[in-house]
Amino acid sequence: MTSADSQQPDAGARRHTGLMVLAWAWVGLPFAYGVYELVQKLAQLFAG
């Protein structure tokens, strides 16, 4: 087995991890925005 062969799985794993981070950020960031806006409204319940 050459060193190039052993590096291929690493590159594949890195690509997979990168894709996972991108995919979770794609849905996570808008969701975090929604939760942030919700928390701001929540404060009104305890202030009112």
Interacting residue ranges for other proteins, rule: CB under 8 A: 20, 23-24, 26-27, 30-31, 33-35, 37-38, 41-48
Please report how close the Cβ of residue 24 comes to other proteins at its closest, in angstroms: 5
Place of tokens 């690493």: 10
Cα–Cα distance for residue pair 33/28, rounded to 1 Å? 9
Nearest distance from C-beta of residue 16 to other proteins, angstroms: 12
Taking the complex as a whole, how short is the minimal distance between the CB of residue 6 and other proteins, in angstroms? Answer: 23
Neighbour-count burial of 18, counting CB atoms closer than 10 A to its CB (0-12 exposed, 13-18 middle, 19+ buried):
exposed
